[in-house]
């Protein structure tokens, strides 16, 4: 996409942050906040996937439960929103469909797509990627501590928290305090989530 003109700089900037969020954790939230401040987004919209086309397993928690955890995690957080469009659509969740829907709602906004460092290598295999890259600007969220250079803007913050590890800790009866917001931990306990998830 061509560089911004002075006129375009006045456009509203929106970040779209998709993923399984199974569960949402502080790593997601810290990087989202960092991206919003660094790139001056008006808001970041978290979009939980029904089923990611590139993940070998479906999310452990249901779409409705992951939505509830997301909403609990960002409650009262200015500039953060949750959208259920992918959970409402039949899986798999194609990003291009989400962006086209967002574009209809925000016809003149600049849309930035926030992707994890682990997704960069497969971006060109995403559904209708050539169309997608014309509709958005990609921002890589890197919590690995890597210094790898990318063709896209990068927001870096080394954070050693993962949803996989959180699920494994719950399955083993270990504490997840401080890894997820307290409201998310309460939902996980109340719904008895991840107790059989040992991966």
- pLDDT at position 9 is 57
pTM as predicted: 0.91
Pick the CATH number of 12-160 from 3.90.660.10, 3.40.50.720, 3.20.20.110, 3.40.50.620: 3.40.50.620
- pLDDT at position 4 is 47
Evaluate if residue 7 carries a pLDDT over 80: no
What tokens does 193 get? 């989530």
Lowest mean pLDDT among 3-17, 26-40, 124-138: 3-17
- 47-56 mean pLDDT: 88
- 155-167 mean pLDDT: 96
Could you state, in order of their start, the residue ranges of all structural domains in the chain? Answer: 12-160
Cβ neighbours for 179, distance < 8 A, ≥ 6 positions apart? 25, 26, 161, 165, 166, 169
- pLDDT at position 197 is 59
What is the DSSP track for 127-193?
TTHHHHHHH-EEEEEE-S------SSEEEE------HHHHHHHHHTT---BTTB-HHHHHHHHHTTT
């Amino acid at each position: 996409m061509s560089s911004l003109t002075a006129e375009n700089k006045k456009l509203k900037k929106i970040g779209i942050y998709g993923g399984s969020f199974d569960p949402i954790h502080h790593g997601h939230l810290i990087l989202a906040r960092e991206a919003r401040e660094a790139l001056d987004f008006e808001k970041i919209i978290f979009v939980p996937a029904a089923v990611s086309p590139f993940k070998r397993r479906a999310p452990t928690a249901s779409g409705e439960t992951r939505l509830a955890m997301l909403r609990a995690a960002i409650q009262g957080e200015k500039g953060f929103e949750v959208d259920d469009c992918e959970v409402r659509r039949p899986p798999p969740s194609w990003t291009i469909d989400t962006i086209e829907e967002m574009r209809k709602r925000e016809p003149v906004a600049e849309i930035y797509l926030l992707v994890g460092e682990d997704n960069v290598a497969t971006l060109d295999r995403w559904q209708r990627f050539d169309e997608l890259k014309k509709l958005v600007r990609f921002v890589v969220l890197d919590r690995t501590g890597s210094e790898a250079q990318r063709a896209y803007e990068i927001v870096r913050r080394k954070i050693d928290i993962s949803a996989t590890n959180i699920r494994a800790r719950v399955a083993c009866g270990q504490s997840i305090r401080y890894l997820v917001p307290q409201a998310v931990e309460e939902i996980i306990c109340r719904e008895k989530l991840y107790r059989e998830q040992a991966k």
